[in-house]
Structure 1
């Protein structure tokens, strides 16, 4: 029996949620499970290629602790999961429009393009859906 794909909607810029989503996505992808991530709302700001490390996550309560303890950065974990497994990341087309960002503003090589929420939810009917 084939494991159903995992669909993740990532909408929060909160480091706690980003950390958990990146861990679940990476483990799923390297465990021969297709993982599809839809990055929307505030979460898209963490993928701004002009920011790095601590700057990405703002005032998230756990951000300072994660940085102090050298926890893996969620963006790095998404990158590793994509390199080692079956993972696709989609940027929310509406949020990019509202922010007046192009895909060139996002971390290079991480996103597979833009997608609308309706299409993502339609695709997600074939698997398990998590939201962060």
Structure 2
């Protein structure tokens, strides 16, 4: 195994944030990470959702949004920083984007490209797969 492949299908803020944290720590440790954002997971990356903070939240997500602790960067920042320091790639699911009638321009600028499932699985074939 050489790294991790994370499939993110949830738009719940705490889960998206957890993937950002795990991916960032792995990338900072020089562990390759491929993140495939699919289904409802794409909704959290919508530019308007990020700008307004209108996330799907549970108790931890709500506490994050209400926290004045600047030491907890939002998942978008975590992913951007991780991409700069280590081997982390994010891909948007082409099928979900087609269903939502969106393009990469509708999302925050963290995605390398859009991919189908087969393309992602090709990139993930030597990695431990985690589904969130």
For 2:2, the equivalent position in structure 1 comes to 4
SS in 2 for 1:107: coil
Contact 1:53 1:73 in 2 (8 A): no
Match of 1:20 in 2: 18
Q: Which residue of 1 aligns with 2:122?
A: 122
5+ residue gaps in structure 1?
none
Superposed, which structure 2 residues align to 1:83-122 within 5 Å? 83-108=84-109, 110-122=110-122
Q: How far apart, CA to CA, are the structure 2 residues paired with 1:104 and 1:9?
A: 21
In structure 2, the gaps of 5 or more residues are: none
Secondary structure of residue in 1 paired with 2:59: coil
Is the 8 Å Cα contact of residues 45 and 56 (structure 1) preserved in structure 2?
no
- SS of aligned partner of 2:83: helix
Q: How far apart, in 1, do the equivalents of 2:117 and 2:52 lie?
A: 29
Aligned residues of 1:39 and 1:92 also touching (Cα < 8 A): yes
Root mean square deviation, CA, Å: 1.7
Q: TM-score, normalised by structure 2?
A: 0.88
Equivalenced residue count is 129
Shift of 1:56: 4.4
Structure 1 pair 77/56, CA: closer, same or farther in 2 (3 Å)? farther
Deviation at 1:53, TM superposition (A): 5.9
What SS class does the counterpart of residue 2 from structure 2 fall into? Answer: coil
